[in-house]
Amino acid sequence: MRVAFLSPAYPPEQRAFTRGLAEIGATVIGVGDGPAAGVDPATRSLLSAWIQVPNLFDEQAAADFLVPVLARAGVDRVISNWEPLILLAATLRERLGLPGMTRDVALGFRDKQVMKERLAAAGLRVPRSARVRTAEQAWAAAEEVGYPLILKPIAGAGSADTFRCDDQVELERALALSRHVAEASVEEFVDGEEFTYDTVCAQGRIAFDSVAQYFPRPLVFRTEEWISPAQIVYSTPHDMPKLAGGIQMGQEVLRVLGMDSGFTHMEWYRKHDGEVVFGEVACRNGGGHFVDMHNWANDIDLFVEWARAVCGLPVSPSPSRRYNVGMVFKRAAGTGRIARIEGLQDLAATCGQWLVAEELLPIGHPRRDWKQTLLSDGFVAMRHPDLGVLHQMVDQAIGGLHLFAR
**What does the pLDDT read at residue 124?**
97
Q: If residue 268 lies in a helix (H) or strand (E), which one and from where to where?
A: strand 262-271
| Domain boundary assignment for the chain | 2-99, 128-188, 191-322, 323-406
Q: How far apart are CA 289 and CA 232, in angstroms?
A: 11
- CA angle, 156 as apex, 111 and 166 as ends, to 5°? 105
Residue 154 confidence class, pLDDT cut points 50, 70, 90: confident
114-125 tens-digit pLDDT = 999 999 999 999
CATH superfamily for domain 191-322? ATP-grasp fold, B domain (3.30.470.20)
CA distances in angstroms from 132 to 112, 113, 129, 141, 145, listed in the order given: 12, 10, 10, 8, 12
The pLDDT tens digits of the residues spanning 175-190 come to 999 989 989 989 999 9
Evaluate whether 206 touches 254 at the Cβ level (below 8 Å).
Answer: yes
Rounded percentage of the chain residues whose pLDDT exceeds 70: 99
pLDDT of the residue at 157: 62
Q: 45-68 pLDDT, tens per residue?
A: 999 999 999 999 999 999 999 999
Q: Output the pLDDT for position 159.
A: 64
Q: CATH homologous superfamily for 128-188? A: ATP-grasp fold, A domain (3.30.1490.20)
Q: Provide mean pLDDT across the span 353-370.
A: 97
Does the pLDDT value for residue 97 go beyond 70?
Answer: yes
pLDDT band of residue 156 (cuts 50, 70, 90) is low
- Find the range with the poorest average confidence among 1-5, 67-71, 132-136: 132-136
In the predicted model, what is the mean pLDDT of residues 359-371? 95
pLDDT, residue 72, reads: 98
- Average predicted confidence (pLDDT) for the chain: 95
Within 10 angstroms of residue 264's Cβ, the number of other Cβ atoms is: 24
CATH no. for 2-99? 3.40.50.20
| 324-348 mean pLDDT | 97
Is 263 in a helix, a strand, or coil?
Answer: strand
Residue, of 264 and 128, whose pLDDT is higher: 264
> In this predicted structure, what is the pLDDT of residue 199?
98
Confidence of residue 282 (pLDDT cuts 50, 70, 90): very high
- The residue type of 56 is L
> In this structure, are strands 27-32 and 2-6 parallel, antiparallel, or unpaired?
parallel
